[in-house]
Amino acid sequence: MTRGIPDVRATEGRAPDVFSRDGWVPMRSHRDGEDVDFAIVGTGAGGGVMAAKLAEAGFSVVAFDAGPFFRPLADFASEEREQDKLYWTDERISDGRDPIELGSNNSGRAVGGSTVHFQMVALRFRPEWFLARSALGYGRDWPVDWREMWRAYDEVEDALKIAGPVRYPWGPRRGRYPYRPHEVNASGLVLARGAEALGVGWAPCPIATLSAPRGRAPPCVYRGFCKIGCSTNAKQSILNTYIPRALAAGAEVRDLAMVARIETDASGRATGLHYHRGGEWRFQQTRNVVVAGYSIETPRLLLNSAGPAHRHGLANAEGLVGRELMVHVNDAVWGTMEDEIRWYKGPPSMAVTEHWNYEDRKDFHGGYAIMSQGPLPTDFATSMVGNLGAFGMDLRRRMAGYNHMAGLKIVGEVMPDPENRVTLSDETDALGLPVPRITFGYGENDRAIGRHARGFMSEMLRAAGATDLFETTGTAHLMGGCPMGFSPQDSVVDADGRAWSCDNLWICDGSVMPTGGGVNPSLTIMANSARIGHRIRALAARGELARAA
């Protein structure tokens, strides 16, 4: 049914040219037996940035991705079902009090990772969130100063040419976004009207799609299929930003290469990766391993990599790997407008209010951002089935109002909880690897956020003129699972992303986030990865890549 997933493409000294329909760019290649400086697992928001940073610093780098290497112009259809090929659809067991939806909801499987299908919302953490515990009294602190993160945000925002408002209304002053904001679509203006009626601020949402040409990428044409892969390259994903940079700087990318296990020696250091590619198991030697498989695959890989010095899984001496998995509350309110909105035009979230991220007079911890919505037909229909149990003519009648719908949805902070976690089940997948089990349940604060947000959004929508409101609940994103912290007792990695118990193992993806914040995580993952990349360069320059015993 799918036209399908391409075969291995990045091989024999060349990789796909993502700006062409069928072209290639040269790629440096390494043998399995060659001891490369860095082997990176995953090429998404964390791994893709890291591959470019390390290759540009002169290291030899091989980056592995389980997914295919797409050329958006030729491979991405304007059709939802076909584009299921972007998602991680291997079955994973979703368990707990509030089991979360995986697959298209949060897990990409392609070179470029989930950024190939992300909504492009590029918001920064509020500075105080890096000291959530000591400044705001909840969650945990990041072992990183917010100014260092903000410098990294500057860097990745420029790398993605984020199109954002001339003046962002919340938080400390920041430099100007590299590109100007897009025209806010009708759906976004519903949010704007609601916000103005309730006296809270709003802004055109900073998003990672071009508002002016850039190199070989054209500006956005507002086709609205962003969430199922941008077929014009206007979307600035890792696939068409950091991956070409990494290749140009000499990194090798191996597509359709599933890393199963990290090999360690008797002293506990990583020596290489066992991976499956082209129908066979192979082994890549390396001096350092960087894991960036996101919050499920990273813990899964570590837990599946027990060795002589790591009895309970790699870097899991304290049993912390896989714990404190977080999502975002993704509740929404929808309504019918008299105007024809046609919310499928333009990127799905073109307007935002971060009011409740920066307002501290409220009866819950953390915060949330509200964004305007523009779901494609099956996405919207399935959310009505899942939430309302709508089916039959009732569903068809509801869907007939599609062009007059408007909606508001939050990205709401979820508190870290050690009981929300990734473990390995007894079942195995097609490659014989243990299937991960994800256990999740909301805490009381998380529920309070959802309640507060649904109430506030209902007021906003009503003020904007919507009628027949209804609510949906859900989750988005993944964070945590291998938190970054201050000591081996409280975390899996240190502030440099280096595993406490394995000095040549690094993690640079969303799994190291100690808290989730009330914004979409991709920009923070990228910034943190860029920051860790700088740290690795600095450590290497001082000859400290191997930690003194």
Partner 1 sequence: MTDAPRPYPGYDVLAKWDTPSWDAITREVVAHRLDRVPERRFFEPAEWETLAALCDTVLPQPDRERPIPLAPFVDAAMAEDRTTGTRWAALPTMREAWRRGLAAIDAEARAVYGRRFHALPADARESLLRAIDDEDVRAPEWRDLPPRRLFRHVLANEIVRIYYAHPDAWSEIGFGGPASPRGYVRLSANRRDAWEADLERPKRRSERRK
Partner 2 sequence: MRPRVPSERSRRAVALTALASVGLVAGAAWVSRRRPPRRRPEGSRAARQVRQGAALLAGSVLADSTMEHYRGGFHNRTMFVAPVSSGLALVSALAPGMMTRRARQAVNAGAVGAGLAGHLFHLRNVLRRPGALSWESMFYAAPLGAPGAMTLAGLAGLAATRLETGQPRGAEALRAGRIGSLGTVAGLLGTTAEVALLHFRGAFHNPMMFAPVILPPLAALAVADAARRPDRARLRLARILLRATAAMGLAGAAFHAWGVHRNMGGWRNWRQNLQVAPPLPAPPSFTGVALAGLGAAHLLEEARR
Q: CB of residue 436 vs partner 1: minimum separation in angstroms?
A: 10
Token code pair at residue 150: 């903000």
Which among partner 2, partner 1, none contacts residue 212 (Cβ within 5 to 8 A by kind)? partner 2
Sequence letter at residue 95: D
3-state secondary structure of 533: helix
Q: In the window 98-117, what residues touch partner 1 (CB under 8 A)?
A: 99, 101-105, 107
Tell me how far apart the alpha carbons of residues 402 and 390 are, in angstroms, rounded to a whole number.
15
Q: What is the 3-state secondary structure (H, E, C) of 7-20?
A: CCCCECCEEECCCC
Token code pair at residue 383: 């959310």
Tell me how crowded residue 465 is: count the other CB atoms within 10 A of its CB.
Answer: 16
Q: Which residues bind partner 2 (CB under 8 A)?
A: 161, 165-167, 178-181, 183-184, 189, 192-193, 195-196, 202, 204, 211-214, 218-219, 221, 232, 234, 336, 338-340, 397, 400-401, 403-404
Pinpoint the alpha helices (H) of 340-401. 355-358, 377-388, 392-400
Tell me how far apart the alpha carbons of residues 284 and 52 are, in angstroms, rounded to a whole number.
19
Residue 425 belongs to what H/E stretch? strand 421-428
Residue 64 near residue 42, CB atoms below 8 Å: yes
Which among partner 1, partner 2, none contacts residue 75 (Cβ within 5 to 8 A by kind)? partner 1
Tell me how crowded residue 390 is: count the other CB atoms within 10 A of its CB.
Answer: 17
Token code pair at residue 214: 């850039």
Which among partner 2, partner 1, none contacts residue 3 (Cβ within 5 to 8 A by kind)? partner 1
Cα–Cα separations (whole angstroms), residue 258 to 91, 107, 274, 301: 15, 15, 9, 10
- Using CB under 8 A as the criterion, what x/- string covers residues 197-236 for binding partner 1? -----------------------xxxxxx-----xx----
Tell me how far apart the alpha carbons of residues 36 and 495 are, in angstroms, rounded to a whole number.
24
Please list, in sequence order, all residues whose beta carbon lies within 8 angstroms of the beta carbon of residue 393, skipping any fewer than 6 positions away: none
70 part of the interface to partner 1, by CB under 8 A:
no
Query: Is 445 buried (19+), middle (13-18) or exposed (0-12) by CB count in 10 A?
Result: middle
Pick the closer one to partner 2 by CB: 110 or 192: 192
Q: CB of residue 181 vs partner 2: minimum separation in angstroms?
A: 6
Placement of tokens 């490369």 in the chain:
36
Tell me how far apart the alpha carbons of residues 331 and 356 are, in angstroms, rounded to a whole number.
15
Which among partner 1, partner 2, none contacts residue 226 (Cβ within 5 to 8 A by kind)? none
Binding partner 1 (rule: CB under 8 A), the pick from 15, 160, 186, 352 is 186
Per CB under 8 A, which region of 8-16, 26-34, 394-402, 514-522 contacts partner 1?
Answer: 394-402
Which among partner 2, partner 1, none contacts residue 193 (Cβ within 5 to 8 A by kind)? partner 2
Q: CB of residue 517 vs partner 1: minimum separation in angstroms?
A: 24
- Using CB under 8 A as the criterion, what x/- string covers residues 353-392 for binding partner 1? ------------------------xx--xx--xx--x-xx
Q: CB of residue 198 vs partner 2: minimum separation in angstroms?
A: 12
Q: CB of residue 120 vs partner 1: minimum separation in angstroms?
A: 15
- Using CB under 8 A as the criterion, what x/- string covers residues 420-459 for binding partner 1? -----------------x----------------------
Binding partner 1 (rule: CB under 8 A), the pick from 12, 32, 265, 403 is 403
Per CB under 8 A, which region of 72-80, 240-248, 259-267, 414-422 contacts partner 1?
Answer: 72-80
